[in-house]
Structure 1
Amino acid sequence: MLRTRSRTIRGSRAVRTSGPLREKRRRRRTTLAASLAAVAALLTGGAASPPGPSDATAPTAVPIRLDPGYQQQPFEGWGTSLAWFAQVTGGWPDAQRNRLADALYGADGLGFTVARYNIGGGDSPETEPYMRAGAAVPGHWKRPGPETPDWWDPENPEHWDPYADGTQRWWLKAAKSRGADTFEAFSNSPPYFMTRSGLVSGAVNPADDNLRSDQYERFAAYLAGALQRVQRATGVTFDSVSPVNEPGTAYWRAGGRQEGSHWAPGSQARMITALRTELDRAGLRTPVAAMDETNPDLFRADWEGYGDTARAAVGRLNTHTYGTHGRSGARDIAKGAHTPLWMSEVDLGGTVPQSFTDMSPALDLAGRITDDVTELEPRAWVLWQAVEDYENMSPAHENSNWGLIQTDFTPADAAREPLRKNKKYWAMAQYSRFIRPGARVIATGDTDTLAAIRPGGQGAVVVHTNATGSPRTIALDLSGFRSVSAAPVQRYTTDASRNVHREPDVSPSGRRLTVTLDPGSVTTLVVPGASGVNPAATTVPSAAPRLLVNDHSGLALTAAPTGGASPLVQHAPDRPDSAQQWVFAKSLPGDWGSTATYRVTNVGNGKALAVAGDTLTLATPGPSPRQRWMLSTAGDGHFTLINSATGALLDVTGASTGDGAPIGVHRPTTGRNQSWTPSTERRSPPSRPAANRQERTG
């Protein structure tokens, strides 16, 4: 959340998006479009569905295959953190603050259902104010007399302020009254009197932890006590509490303009376990969320520094995506830990000056949403703060486009202060109004398209971003659904001149829907007549024997002859070789979820892939979870295989490209040696160098 005057920096978060990222997505989409039909045939063992009549009039249409055979877990919703805007606007006149609440949480607004409440630490009353507008979130403590060393006692009611932070509390109640049902409490810093620097903005040396080593249990008691008091005051029940925020970066410095604290991985682990112990002592079953790291790579590094006790204390995993590399690692860690994952904070300022009509920031945001949801598989997607300080975003200051709505945080007259919606607001609505809680995101194979099955399983929603300067025709392949009716498809568009505008309906032609989308637009298609799964058309491996070709080496997983140094190695693909043929059998037939488990059995010897200790082996097929594997994919035909018992991934040892190299298991690294392509083709697939393969890195 740290942002300096530089237009696209939050501390060390250089937002490397906008133009370059759009161009990267465009290149990937073009490559995928050229090869999608061939990939579909390769992975399903048959031809792609026959062209519909519309193809004759749209020869350059981008093919997009919707695959409900790979369904993410039910989506919990979209939302925002309440700091800092709630600290400001929660005290505004009723009519004005209700207009804002309607815009974010109302049914005719964005329809958000998630709110993240910031438990403030609070600086000393003697400290001269130094933070940005709204960032000085009040602490829940009360100092009834002169300060003495370690004066605060969590068991003393006089040391708590029961009315602290009334403005954020108003927002919690406002969100709940409009249908929000998922709430998280999070902390950016301990109170000043628990810190080394005496300030809630960080340590003097930003690479140092700011919480004093003797204060972990007291800080845990502070978080648990604040949680209880806010719940009683608002009627909101918190679904989780996050004790550390962006802990692994070294930009929280004493005197900075917002709360923040560095935490080494060992310190994070200690805080997580201390909070779990305190919550249990207080009779609170609230899950602990961790670790709200700045980006997925740091998230993975933090997690690797936790021991078993800390990992067991984590009830939900949170990552931010201010950096985007390594999403697959966070995704696979969460799956292997059998713990839900959130994308719990991000925003983009864009590369253009402050504007309420320019589509560029909106297209950037749409691209980030699509990539995050596709590659991370988060159960919720939460914006940093949906309302930003207009004055701070103006050309005289940051000259940027943070937030979906901008309004002055220090207005002359709050009742008359304009609430300025930018194009990002309307791009957000293209997702949040249509992909609702309970929906299940499905694979598409296209980096500009996000699709989901609607709650209840009847109908689908497709959101496509055309960030180019030209019209784009897309051809949706609906053959992956069990049934598709001719019901009209609703179409809504946001571009430079329209805001979620209802366009004329379009109709499928058989199992194909072709539509032309305007340049610089985000379009939502609601397909009411699509339902079920056609097993013959899914890209997820089914019972047909197939090779597993490693995406780094181009070599195939092979059961070695008995007596070899390793029971599993990689060799040049040879389709007739039964030692390279593998059959995927679901534990629960008909489970199309992305956490479905499979037994993977070798055709040649009848043995199943299994993990014994830390070693990959072959075993007589049985019910052990060590023989169960989950699959992860971004919809591009490439998969990681995650052992259900250990969370380790199928891995070419040492990332070797050598023929005969051993295959084992290893923790998620995001390396291509952990990525595999299932193939049913009848001839030996050519070995392709890694540089020629597509890689989704954001």
Structure 2
Amino acid sequence: MNPTRKRSSVRLRAPLPRPVGSLAAAGLAAALVAAGLTTPAVAAGAAGTVTVRLDPSYQQPPFQGWGTALGWFANVTGGWPDDRRDRLADDLYGADGLGFTVARYNIGGGDSPETAPYMRPGAAVPGYWNRPGAETPDWWDPAEPDHWNPDADANQRWWLGAAKARGADTFEAFSNPAPYFMTSSGRVSGAENGTQDNLRPDQYERFSAYLSGALQRVQDSTGVAFDSLSPVNEPNTDYWHAGGRQEGSHWDPSSQAHMISALRSALDEKAMSTPIAAMDETNPDVFRTDWEAYGPTVRDSVGRLNTHTYGTNGRTGVRDIAKGEATALWMSEVDVGGSVPQSFTDMSPAFDLAARVNDDIRELEPRAWVLWQAVEDYENMNPDHENSNWGLIQTDFTPEDAATEPLRKNKKYWAMANYSRFVRPGSRVINTDDPQTLAALCPGGQGTVVVHTNPTGEEREVTLDLTGFESVGSAPVERYTTDTAKNLQRESDVTTDGKLLKATVGAGSVTTFVLPGVGGVNTDATTAPTGAARQVVGDNSGMALAVAADGVKSRPVQRTSDAADTAQQWTFTKSSASDWGNTAAYRITNAKTGKALSVSGDTLTFATPGGSPQQQWIRSTTGDGHATLINSATGKLLDVTGVATDDGSPVGVYRPTTGANQSWTFRGTGR
């Protein structure tokens, strides 16, 4: 849910058939431009060249897929005539559409039948409770069968079946509020004060029974098995107010923790092993604030970490939390409206979306990437209302005739296809040194997909440096372009020249390259910091990690950089030489003392080299030459204490903060 709008085990799948360009859609776009109905815009920029180095020696885990929350649009369109709803489902989940494989199902809370409707179209998601008689205090009893409505929410449940029938295999249920009769305000849109919790303090167990019971009933009626259940949404915010136009509820961090524990108990009592996802916070920085307030038992109850990226600061901190906890992470909700008025030919919103995808995946390293609403209300987006570009498809949520209501795809839809049609479940995203380029190994490791965005006003020569790969092959490289006039159009093939691929991409375009012969890791050209000794230089201070003598003991400090000083030289030994994953662990040994960096409790220390987790360090990097080092035993990061910049300042370990005092550059020493 967009706060700026106040919203108003992995199974591998084969790649989809290669798409062809949509000439009809491109013709329509050109006609709209000619008629003056839209004003396509391309970001200004100079012609140029860019060389992008692909790094298969740093691989994210197998990708679970792309998807969308269902919620409002499914609540509306799931009841439309078959022709219209099937076409929408094909557009999102079909093999000739976006090929989404993830669906997030919204378990509604439900306002009182006596409350006059006040929410935006589609936002009043039905609850699963039933009130068979007069309303009395605490009338609802989850043990009473007639207090449930197992047939509720038929429209959204239709979408679950439609997604599954088209190949979706990853499903999450999520909740925005509790039912009205469990809230302090009596409404599912929030408390009277947006900084106060709306769930009454005595309702945690009942709400947990409601969520677990609703989940059972959805699974029974649809045959969909849910991979996770998320009980709170954007909780530590002030967005949610009684009478607002959408469901929502504030939860302070202690309330979140209480809810997670109560839900885990309720699921366990029903012998339901469904993992809990948490906490679907609005942005990574607030996610970290919430997570740091959870105790160890609560953290252990969380089976997957979910963050939204409506704000973008702090992504790498959440990434490192996930690695330290050895828990999978999703980017579970976002969309962008763009900076231009509603348009179906302007590429600017597509560039905004591509940048969000690239940055999220590079900095968060998520297992899945999920949109908020892939289908938006056209009337709400038109110039008389928000005049914006939310959603990939826009259609009127209150049409005169749903059977003839147009389904309008914008350029964000086609840019999304540049990713989702090619980076398939089971793919492994790899690092690049260019933030406008995303690359991934195909499932099975043979073949690579590259998506490059050129938002400038001039064509660009792109060189892909493939020296990091073991093999390149000579098979033709396919390419597909989305720009003002093209919708994922197949262009002429290109060929590699040794371990380089050169191609010209058009102005204002998103281009996907499919390199079928490229795979493996060239062990002589990896970015893994193994081999010769290196300095570990702090990005905040410019000083090097060193061993300082302190009587008979040694301590870790930062020193003015001197590559010849053996006290500043470190050897990285990977625990498994063939592990190219983003959680590969290293032992870091000092050249002068022969001792390894280790952690004892919360203290950074040295120890005789061994294989204990206390001596294992995970390298996280976005491919820009900088890295954090996460201790495998504690989840804490190598950290210059107090953000100090003085020579001799102590170095220790601390929880992830995204501060430059936790960021390091590895430099050669000539040894």
In the superposition, the TM-score normalised over structure 1's length comes to: 0.90
Contact 2:616 2:633 in 1 (8 A): yes
5+ residue gaps, structure 1, are: 4-8, 14-20, 31-57, 684-698
Q: Which residue of 1 aligns with 2:31?
A: none
CA deviations over 1:501-536 (Å, ceiling 9, x no partner): 000001111001111111110000011111110122
Q: Secondary structure of 1:543's match?
A: coil
Deviations 1:634-690 (A, max 9, x none): 11010000011110000000011100100000000000000000111549xxxxxxx
> What is the match of residue 210 of structure 2?
222
CA offsets 1:437-473 (integer angstroms, 9 cap, x no match)? 0000001010100000010000100001101111111
Matches within 5 A, 1:101-140: 101-140=89-128
**How far off its partner does 1:578 sit?**
1.4
Aligned equivalent of 1:545: 533
SS in 1 for 2:549: coil
Q: What residue is the counterpart of 1:695 in the other structure?
A: none
Distance 1:22 1:378, change over 3 A: farther
Secondary structure at the residue paired with 2:638?
strand
Q: Residue 51 of structure 1 corresponds to which residue in structure 2?
A: none
Q: What is the deviation of 1:203?
A: 0.4
Secondary structure at the aligned position of 2:257 is classed as helix
* Equivalent in the alignment of 2:76: 88
Matched, 1:421 2:427: no
1:586 deviation in Å?
1.2
Map of 1:654 onto structure 2: 642
8 Å Cα contact 2:43/2:508 also seen in 1: no
Q: One-letter code of the match for 1:478?
A: L
Aligned twin of 1:42:
none
In structure 1, the partner of 2:231 is: 243
Please give the alpha-carbon distance, in whole angstroms, between the structure 1 residues aligned to 2:480 and 2:147.
53
Match of 2:403, SS?
helix
User: What does the per-residue CA deviation read over 1:66-91, in whole Å, with 9 as the maximum and x for residues that have no partner?
Assistant: 00000011100000000110000000
Separation in 1 of the partners of 2:457 and 2:430? 28
Q: Which runs of 5+ in 2 are unaligned?
A: 9-41
Q: Find the aligned partners of 1:163 and 1:448 in 2 and give their Cα distance.
A: 46
Q: What is the aligned partner in structure 2 of residue 591 from structure 1?
A: 579
Separation in 2 of the partners of 1:177 and 1:547? Answer: 54
Is 1:403 aligned to 2:391, yes or no?
A: yes
Of 666, 669, 672, the residue aligned with 2:654 is 666
- Match of residue 518 from structure 1: 506
Note if 1:497 corresponds to 2:485: yes
| Match in the other structure for 1:574 | 562
Take 2:454 and 2:436, find their aligned partners in 1: how far apart are those partners? Answer: 7
Alignment of 1:338 onto 2:339: no
Matched residue, 1:10:
5
Residue 572 of structure 1: how far off its partner (Å): 1.4
Residues 183 and 240 of structure 1 are in contact (CA less than 8 Å); yes or no, is this contact kept in structure 2? yes
Mapped partners of 2:595, 2:467: distance in 1: 34
**Contact in 2 for aligned 1:247/1:261 (Cα 8 Å):** yes
The percentage of aligned residue pairs carrying the same residue is 70
The number of residue pairs the alignment matches comes to 639
Separation of aligned partners in 1, 2:80 and 2:51: 50
Could you report, residue by residue, the CA deviation over 1:403-446 in whole angstroms, capped at 9, with x for unpaired residues? 00000001111111110000000000000000000000001010
Select which of 604, 616, 628 maps to 2:616: 628
Q: 1:566 touches 1:662 (CA, 8 Å); kept in 2?
A: no
What SS does the aligned partner of 1:504 have?
coil
The offset of 1:22, in angstroms, is 7.9
Contact kept, 8 Å, 1:388 with 1:403, in 2: the verdict is: yes
Question: Which position in structure 2 is the counterpart of 1:45?
Answer: none
1:186 and 2:174 are equivalent in the alignment: yes
Q: Cα deviations across residues 558-608 of structure 1 (Å, max 9, x unaligned)?
A: 011253886100011211211111111111120000011111111111111
Q: Quick one: structure 1 residues 361 and 310, their matched pair in 2 at CA, closer, same or farther if it must change by over 3 Å?
A: same
Residue 85 of structure 1 aligns with an amino acid whose one-letter code is F
Contact 2:59/2:580, CA 8 A, preserved across alignment: yes
More moved, 541-550 vs 260-269 = 541-550
Letter in 2 for 1:623: G
- Secondary structure class of the residue paired with 1:300: helix
- SS of the aligned residue for 2:88 comes to helix
**What is residue 377 of structure 2 aligned with on the other side?**
389
Separation of aligned partners in 1, 2:239 and 2:101: 31
Post-superposition offset of 1:546: 0.5
- Tell me, what secondary structure is at the counterpart of 1:584? strand
- Deviation track 1:340-379 (CA, whole Å, cap 9, x = no partner) reads 0000000000111111011000111001000000110000
Determine whether 1:292 maps to 2:292: no
Inter-partner Cα distance in structure 2 for 1:514 and 1:681: 34
The residue matched to 2:219 in structure 1 has which SS? helix
- CA deviations on 1:390-409 (whole Å, 9 max, x unpaired) are 01101111111000000000
Q: How far apart, CA to CA, are the structure 2 residues paired with 1:624 and 1:518? A: 52
Give the AA of the match of 1:337. E
Q: Does 1:353 align with 2:341?
A: yes
The CA deviation at 1:10 is 2.2
Distance in 2 separating the partners of 1:655 and 1:504? 52
Please state whether the residue corresponding to 1:416 is helix, strand or coil.
coil
Structure 2: how far apart are the matches of 1:564 and 1:90? 73
Residue 605 (structure 1) aligns with = 593
The one-letter code of the counterpart of 2:416 is M
SS at match of 2:68: strand
CA deviation map 1:183-219 (0-9, x unaligned):
0000000000000000000000000000000000110
Q: Aligned equivalents of 1:615 and 1:638: distance in 2?
A: 24
Give the deviation of 1:622 after TM superposition: 1.6
Opposite residue 188 of structure 1, the aligned amino acid is N
Distance in 1 (alpha carbons) for counterparts of 2:7 and 2:335 = 14
The yes-or-no answer on 1:378 pairing with 2:366 is yes
1:43 counterpart residue number? none
The answer for the alignment partner of 1:41 in structure 2 is none
- Partners of 1:121 and 1:620 lie apart in 2 by 57
* Cα contact 1:346–1:383 (8 A) shared by 2: yes
CA distance in 2, matches of 1:612, 1:11: 46
| Paired position in structure 2 for 1:314 | 302
**How far, CA to CA, are the matches of 2:188 and 2:206 in structure 1?**
16
Partner letter of residue 11 of structure 1?
K
CA contact (8 A) 1:22 1:364 kept: no
Change (3 A) 1:12 1:569: farther
Moved over 2 A (4+): 9-13, 562-566
CA shift, 1:12, in A, is 9.9
Distance 1:600 1:567, change over 3 A: same
Does the Cα contact within 8 Å between 2:613 and 2:632 map onto a contact in 1? Answer: yes
Query: Residue 2 of structure 1 contacts residue 258 of structure 1 at CA under 8 Å; is this kept in 2?
Result: no
**Aligned match of 2:632 in 644, 656, 669?**
644
Correspondence for 1:34: none
1:430 pairs with 2:430: no
Partner of 2:49: 61
Aligned to 1:687: none
Distance 1:594 1:355 in 2: 39
* Distance in 2 between residues matched to 1:588 and 1:110, nearest whole Å: 37
Find the residue that maps to 2:492 and give its secondary structure: strand
Aligned letter for 1:597? A
Deviation of the 1:540 alpha carbon = 2.2
2:136 to 148, 153, 167: 148
Q: Under a length normalisation based on structure 2, what TM-score does the superposition of the two structures give?
A: 0.93
- Counterpart-to-counterpart distance in 2, 1:594 and 1:641: 12
- The answer to whether the 8 Å contact 1:119/1:226 transfers is yes
Residue 543 of structure 1: how far off its partner (Å):
2.4
2: CA distance between counterparts of 1:346 and 1:661?
A: 41
- TM-superposed CA distance for 1:2, in Å, is 4.8
